[in-house]
Amino acid sequence: MLIKELKIEGFRGIKKMGEPLKLKKFNLILGRNNACKSTLLQALCLFPSPYETTVDGNTPRIFQLVSQTSQNDLTPFLYRYAGKADIEYDSRIGKIKFGIDKSIHLYIERQLSWVEYGSNIVYSDEIQKMLAKKSSEELNSISIMLTDFSDQYIEKLWNIIEKEDAHISVPVDFINRCIDEKFTEITLRHHDLYMRKELDGKPFYVKFSDLGEGVKKFARILLVLSSIKPELVLWDDFDSHMHPSMMKIAMEYLSRSTWQTVIATHSIDALSQIPDLDTKDSQIILVKKGSQDELIHKIFTVDEIDTLIEGGQDPRKLVDELGL
Amino acid sequence: MKYIDHSPKHPFVNVLIADGKYEVRILNRVVQKFQTDNVSLFSPATPLGGQKGLVSVLNVLKVLTDKFSNSNFLIVIDREHVSNTAQIMDEVKKFGIVPMDEDKTEYYFKAKVGQKMINVYVTIQGMKKNIEEEVSILIQQTYAQEISPDKDKIRDFLNTKNKNVESLIDDSNLPKLKKSFPCLIQVLECISNKHREV
């Protein structure tokens, strides 16, 4: 498991946290709108370094998190746009920390004290060794924030996708289980992705861009994950465009894979699927922003959430009881 | 008194309903007859429904007690599941909840969960079976007609009067409701009085 614990202070809308957030292999975050669910995912996404790029981009991942005019402007990451933000991770390689003010400060804990790395190149080299990654590309793909990946990015991964047989397993083993059509393969033709199906024994190709939003998004995510195999998968607004049957298959896939997963959702359907999953390494985190912008959270086991839902209680509304 | 399903503010009582949405509809309207703002009833009901019965309610009571600071709970349950509060006091012991004899009444008991003290209010609906029997009595009082205590028959009858169960309650005063929903009204009075004392 990549990240065991997360501590945040002064980052985005979070002034401080009541207590550090302990993570398990499969984590589902619930909270009202603007309760800083996305901020938690963004903080996790910056591991192991805000300077690493995302898998499908060339700019440092910290600058891909917010839309802004200046690439060097770090104020959107600071609580009330001033002061200093701290993000601390207890990870499988030990404790690392970033401080963000007008620049980014990188720290690794050595013998219970923090060593600051003045240069990102030195830090990155050190982290690469600690995580046993052979290249900066491998380091970049350690964690992934799931988004609408482009056909161009998937084309770059196509050799691995074919090697992994994902172009066949994605439609046959996953997509077909949550739609009414039967696709046989995903193909890449003239830089565009197509789904292949058979009608009366004859092949027919549907362009990806003509598919429904949910299918398109889910298929692309599955292709990317099956090829880059990250250690940490982050998925914000998990429920958008997804029918409950697709959510169930997505959650089964994510929870049974080797990586750690953190999902943010508002969906009662996603919650009600949780008891069907492996419960030992899973948890549900209810979050709420307190009156002083402190992040309050409470962790529930899968069994506890199951009990509440079976008893007619909606855990999404129980969030309101946090901190009272 | 208000019946709310989100954003509770202290003091509030977590409502645990052992049966279905029909009880929610009734409770929601009956509480509005209490002209007091000193406490609200909080019922974050799921749109998915859920299991019915005492065990399910007590499982939820245990989780909520463990996880949240609120210490006031109202159990709303039909008589087909349980005949009196003493039976519930006996049953909670299986969930690590220790009921106390001090201050107990027909509608209320205190209990200890670890170091935490909780107040449990109880309303058992129906003379023999369920809350529909009490709605039938309200119809009898209002229209002088005997309607079988069956949800569909009640709905069909109220349709003929251009009413539903909510408007039937809205049109009834507290003394009249006390005759049809005696247990519910008494427990709401009990809750209201306890919080007035505070």
Q: Which residues of B touch A318 (CB under 8 A)?
A: 44, 64, 68
Cβ contact, residue pair A310, B51, below 8 Å? yes
Cβ contact, residue pair B50, A311, below 8 Å? yes
> How far B61 CA lies from chain A's nearest CA (Å)?
9
H/E stretch holding B41: strand B40-42
Cβ contact, residue pair B59, A307, below 8 Å? yes
Cβ contact, residue pair B57, A313, below 8 Å? no
Listed as ranges, residues in chain B with pLDDT below 70 are 50-51, 197-198
Between CA A160 and CA A42 the distance in angstroms is 27
Q: Which residues of A touch B4 (CB under 8 A)?
A: none
> How far A158 CA lies from chain B's nearest CA (Å)?
42
Q: How far is CA A188 from CA A52, A210, A222, A228, B136, in A?
A: 29, 15, 15, 18, 67
**What integer pLDDT is reported at residue B51 of this predicted model?**
67
Q: Which residues of B touch A33 (CB under 8 A)?
A: none
User: If you average pLDDT over every residue of chain A, what do you get?
Assistant: 92
In chain B, the number of structural domains is: 1
Q: Which residues of A touch B25 (CB under 8 A)?
A: none
From the number of C-beta atoms within 10 Å of its C-beta (0-12, 13-18, 19+), residue A323 rates as middle
Q: Which two tokens stand for residue A205?
A: 């190709």
Cβ contact, residue pair A321, B68, below 8 Å? yes
Domains detected in chain A: 3-142+232-321 (3.40.50.300), 148-229 (no CATH)
**pLDDT for A192 beyond 70:** yes
CA B56 to the chain's CA centroid:
15
Q: Is residue B118 part of a domain?
A: yes
Diameter over CA atoms, chain B: 54
In chain A, which residue's Cα lies nearest the Cα of B63?
A304
| Helical packing angle, B21-30 and B131-143, nearest 10° | 50
- At B129-161, the pLDDT tens digits run 999 999 999 999 999 999 999 999 999 999 999
Q: Which residues of A touch B75 (CB under 8 A)?
A: none
- Residue with the two structure tokens 């049966």: B19
H/E stretch holding B156: helix B151-160
Residues of B with CB under 8 A from a CB of A: 5-10, 16-17, 42, 44-51, 56-57, 59-60, 62-64, 67-70
Q: Which two tokens stand for residue B136?
A: 């039938």
CA A273 to the chain's CA centroid:
19
Q: Which of A144, A4, A3, A20 is nearest to A86 (CA)?
A: A20
Cβ contact, residue pair A307, B60, below 8 Å? yes
Q: Which of B24, B111, B105, B23 is nearest to B64 (CA)?
A: B111
Confidence of residue A68 (pLDDT cuts 50, 70, 90): low
Q: Is residue B167 part of a domain?
A: no
- At B172-181, the pLDDT tens digits run 999 999 999 9
Q: Which residues of A touch B47 (CB under 8 A)?
A: 268, 314
Q: Which of A249, A179, A191 is nearest to A215 (CA)?
A: A179
> How far B162 CA lies from chain A's nearest CA (Å)?
30
> How far B22 CA lies from chain A's nearest CA (Å)?
13
Confidence of residue A280 (pLDDT cuts 50, 70, 90): confident
Q: Which of A154, A156, A113, A129 is nearest to A48 (CA)?
A: A129
Pairing assessment for the beta strands A94-100 and A85-91 based on DSSP bridges: antiparallel
Give me the CATH number covering residue B76. 3.40.980
> Does this complex have an ipTM over 0.85?
yes
Between CA A246 and CA A222 the distance in angstroms is 12
**What integer pLDDT is reported at residue A65 of this predicted model?**
82
Confidence of residue A53 (pLDDT cuts 50, 70, 90): confident
- Give chain B's end-to-end CA distance (angstroms, integer): 15
**What integer pLDDT is reported at residue A98 of this predicted model?**
96
Q: What percent of chain A has pLDDT over 70?
A: 98
CB A85 within 8 A of CB A77: yes
- At A7-49, the pLDDT tens digits run 999 999 999 998 999 999 999 999 999 999 999 999 999 999 9
Q: Which residues of A touch B50 (CB under 8 A)?
A: 309-313
DSSP string, B167-187: HHHHTS-HHHHHHHSHHHHHH
CB B124 within 8 A of CB B134: no
**What integer pLDDT is reported at residue A308 of this predicted model?**
92
Q: Which residues of A touch B70 (CB under 8 A)?
A: 321, 324
**What integer pLDDT is reported at residue A167 of this predicted model?**
96
A contact test, residue of B14, B24, B46 with most A CBs within 10 A: B46
Between CA A306 and CA A80 the distance in angstroms is 38
Q: Is residue B175 part of a domain?
A: no
- For chains A and B, CB pairs below 8 A equal 76
Q: Is residue B13 part of a domain?
A: yes
Q: How far is CA A241 from CA A164, A216, A247, in A?
A: 27, 10, 10
Q: What is the mean pLDDT of residues A147-172?
A: 92
- Give the list of residues 6+ apart from residue A251 with CB closer than 8 angstroms, or none: A263, A270, A273, A274, A277
In chain B, which residue's Cα lies nearest the Cα of A297?
B67
Between CA B87 and CA B75 the distance in angstroms is 13
Give this prediction's pTM: 0.90
Looking at the DSSP bridge assignments, the partners of residue A207 are A194
**pLDDT for A275 beyond 80:** no
Q: What are phi and psi of B107, to 5 degrees?
A: -120, 5
Between CA B191 and CA A308 the distance in angstroms is 24
CB A301 within 8 A of CB A308: no
Residues of A with CB under 8 A from a CB of B: 268, 272, 298, 300, 304, 307-314, 316-318, 320-322, 324
Q: Which residues of B touch A299 (CB under 8 A)?
A: none
Apex A170 CA angle, A165 and A171, nearest 5:
115
Q: Which of A183, A189, A258 is nearest to A226 (CA)?
A: A258
Cβ contact, residue pair B56, A312, below 8 Å? yes
- Give the list of residues 6+ apart from residue B169 with CB closer than 8 angstroms, or none: B26, B29, B30, B138, B177
Q: Is residue B18 part of a domain?
A: yes
> How far B119 CA lies from chain A's nearest CA (Å)?
17
Beta strand extents in chain A (DSSP E only): 3-9, 16-17, 21-22, 26-31, 85-91, 94-100, 104-110, 113-117, 143-145, 183-189, 192-199, 202-207, 232-235, 260-265, 282-289, 294-300
Q: Is residue B158 part of a domain?
A: no
Q: Is residue B135 part of a domain?
A: no
Pairing assessment for the beta strands A94-100 and A104-110 based on DSSP bridges: antiparallel
Q: Which domain holds residue B105?
A: 2-127+181-197
Q: Is residue B163 part of a domain?
A: no
Between CA A149 and CA A57 the distance in angstroms is 11
> How far A34 CA lies from chain B's nearest CA (Å)?
15
Cβ contact, residue pair A309, B56, below 8 Å? no
Cβ contact, residue pair A308, B63, below 8 Å? yes
> How far B45 CA lies from chain A's nearest CA (Å)?
5
In chain A, which residue's Cα lies nearest the Cα of B5?
A317
